[in-house]
Structure 1
Amino acid sequence: MDVNRRNLMKGVLTGGTLLALGIPPGAFASAPAGRAGRFGLLLGNTPLDAEFAAGIRTAYAANARYDGMESGATGAGVAGLDAPQVVKLTGGLLNDYERVTGLLEKSRDTRWIAVMDDGSAAIFMELARNAGARLILLGSHASSGDDAFMHGISPGIPELRHVWAAASPMHSAGGILASRLIENQGSFSIVENFLSAEHSSTQMRADSIAASGPNPGSFTYWPGFLAYRLDGPDAIHLHCSGLSPSDGCESLGWNTAGGWTSVSRQVSTREAGARRGAGQPQSAGWMESVGYAVMAAALGTSAFQESCSSRAFVHRPSKDKVNGRGEPIGPAERFTSFVIDI
């Protein structure tokens, strides 16, 4: 096994560690990942597996349609790739860890997407490390089951919280998820930390089916959000909807001090529609939306041009929209998602 690849997976990261942003740089690929030979989907026996898988299928199908339009072919998969192989752990990872070990060892040239509870995630990290995996994207996702922003329970904590660590902006998922969640009118926060701010321009697609493609210039703008930049050795980008940058920082646990520069501009209705992507559903449950965003990131369709070490999206709906919001969140949930290369 390649020593450099082993070093990419040092340590065991749980969902709580990720939410606290305690992510060691050595856990991720030091260079942009190439194209996957094939995809696999590992479902870890969580209550939300079906919804997550539905988002994966929707994203794959949307990109397949786009590739077909680009090539003039019909019925083809994504750039000639078969649909993801689906593996279900009916007894959970603790009962099926030997099966997962064998699966990873025998699935070379595969990009695996996985979802599981936080306890299983710690074990999966060790199994992936032993298999010499490259960790491309790691996400921690939590639902409070209510909108604390609006009901005064733990004030400032949104009902949906997502933290991603990505090897590079080539495999960003946050913007796609933000553009989908904002339509359901509940409060949420999304944080992305990039271990490398650089990515190969040859790997970027000029057009993104999944959500926003890069805008001309050095900043990507998202419909419904006002954008701010904090310059420094490692630039930070903040996108706020319904609250000020200081309130946004407070809800994320970020230091509110510093000179945030507004870089927003008005996004037209036509442009906003284009950013959702041809054929992309405008609304879905939050778990299905997470699956969609993770698959798009695994495909590399969500790359953006600006260089930053971190970026965040924070949304707080206005009070008059809370009672009429669309998708109910349901009970409190926590889970972890992965994208790894074997």
Structure 2
Amino acid sequence: MLLHHKKIAIIGAGPVGLTMAILLEQKGIDVTVYERDKDAQTRIWGGTLDLHKGSGQEAMKKAGLLERYYEQAIAMGRTIADEKGNILRSQKITPEEARDNPEINRNDLRTLLLESLKSNTVAWNSKVTNLEAKDGKWILHFEKNQTATTDFVIGANGGMSAIRKYITDAEVEETGTYMIQGEISQAEMKCKEFLNLCQGNILMTAYNGNLLVANPKNKDSLSYNVIFKTPLDWTIKNNLDFRNAESISSFLADRFSDWNETYTQLFRVTSVFMGLPTRKIPLNKWEKNRPLPITLIGDAAHLMPPFAGQGANIGLVDAMILSENLLSGQFETIESAILDYEKQMFVYANKAQKETRENELMMQDAGFSFMGFVGG
């Protein structure tokens, strides 16, 4: 087997990196996941993830975790409301649809994946800052002047990956949309009217250039995204301070001043916000010379906005294909297994990026009134 007597380093303990580690470790491969988070209890910020049939769920099945995913994920319908707080449409999930793409909390998914790995597989508090090829090995340099040696590096550390520069000169681009995320604990006490409006579903409302998507069942919290087209002068006039929740609440209340009080109440009771522009990475050819085996999976390889629910799912397909190539015995070298994976990835990731971009442009052109595209 190609990886026998080899040390494999995976950079990043997100769903894609951990799934890749599981698929390798199940075959007896020596793999270490290096993660910058302090420990396994470090809370992951963000909305739920929905794993799709034919992609994310297939990777879970290959890892032997599909039934456990179903047990922890929640099948959720959709409620469409207008800016006045009137319900336009509400659709519950039927029993036949329950396993199509249920939503799972990001921290629950990490725990599920970690429980399938050896206890020492993940090296926490290990932020990789630099790689060095030396004597036929990769030397990993960490933030605290520590090093580790490995034979093969797999970058799975997200869209702003510092590993990407060893493979491609492609740079992250903003796509013209901005997202503000908020989260509320004890929503039944703080914003009961809004919670009732959701009707236990993911709620979507769009009006006057603003799109609001909320999930009332993100474990113990209600989480939501406010999405709007980035103004042309945004980088010049944007003075949002996400360390000051009150200022973000006021900013949103002003944007939503013509919406019903049910929505503005949501912002007033939110204590923590996070803002980020939507970004992508152009999938140009990876032509840089690689002195040793190295590749990328997940957002590190093909970052895309969330407007088709594809990011995590495509990343899990990466892990499935790359692990199969490395373990199947069909390839004579690690390099040839990597190149075949990348050839396949460029096709399906480009397709997903195109779908995502079409949804985003449709959304912007329609003034954020088109809402059927939003994925988990």
TM-score range, shorter chain: under 0.3
More strand by share: 2
Q: Which protein shows a greater Rg?
A: 2
The higher relative CO (CA closer than 8 Å, separation ≥ 6) is in 1
| TM-score normalized by the length of structure 1 | 0.28
